[in-house]
């Protein structure tokens, strides 16, 4: 690790603390100039590429899932912790697949499944956009399907 003050690579670790976020904070000291500084280390997991409907590929982005779920749950009695837990579960499932590419459809289905268990109105809101429900009949059909599963 290079010293940010003098650029020397002759540094040593004074203290190591595990962060609740999963990272490791290290307190370091430069042997050349005596400057003390902190570094944070975290595991960089390789995330898969998401294959979109039109064939484009983009890196997996948990923030996109989080935003979509938040919009679906807007003005509903759904706790922020529950939303965060759902997104964490989806991210963990995608990473556990251990594949280089995953379809957006697979991720969307995971979101639908999680929202169905979390809040049925949020599920319908998400399904309208995700399943491209264009008219009241298709929305009614999805609601009837949801009620039939109860």
Residue 45 confidence (pLDDT): 66
Rounded to whole angstroms, the Cα distance separating 59 from 46 reads 10
Give 14 or 147, the one with higher predicted confidence.
Answer: 14
80-130 residue pLDDT tens: 999 999 999 999 899 889 899 999 999 999 999 999 999 999 999 999 988
Residue 49 C-alpha from the chain's centroid:
14
Which tokens hold the place of 102?
Answer: 């995953």
The closest of 50, 54, 23 to 110, measured between CA atoms, is 50
Which tokens hold the place of 58?
Answer: 């983009």
Q: Spell out the domain ranges in the chain.
A: 11-41, 49-148
3-state secondary structure of 54: coil
Residue 41 confidence (pLDDT): 86
pTM of the model: 0.66
Burial degree of 26 (CB within 10 A; 0-12, 13-18, 19+): middle
**What are the residues facing 50 on neighbouring strands?**
58, 102
12-62 residue pLDDT tens: 999 999 877 677 999 999 999 999 999 988 776 678 999 999 999 999 999
67-89 residue pLDDT tens: 999 999 999 999 999 999 999 99
Residue 44 confidence (pLDDT): 64
């Amino acid at each position: 690790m290079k010293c940010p003050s003098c650029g020397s690579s002759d540094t040593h670790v004074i203290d190591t603390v595990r962060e609740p976020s999963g990272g490791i904070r290290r307190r370091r000291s430069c042997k050349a100039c005596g400057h003390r500084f902190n570094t944070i280390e975290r595991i960089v997991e390789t995330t898969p590429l998401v294959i979109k409907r039109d064939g484009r590929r983009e890196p997996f982005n948990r923030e996109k899932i989080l935003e979509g779920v938040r919009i679906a749950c807007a003005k509903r009695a759904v706790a922020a912790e529950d939303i965060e837990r759902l997104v964490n579960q989806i991210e963990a499932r995608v990473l556990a697949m251990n594949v280089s590419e995953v379809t957006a459809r697979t991720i969307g289905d995971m979101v639908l499944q999680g929202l169905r268990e979390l809040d049925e109105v949020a599920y319908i809101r998400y399904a309208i956009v995700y399943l491209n429900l264009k008219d009241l009949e298709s929305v009614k059909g999805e609601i009837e399907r949801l009620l039939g599963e109860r």
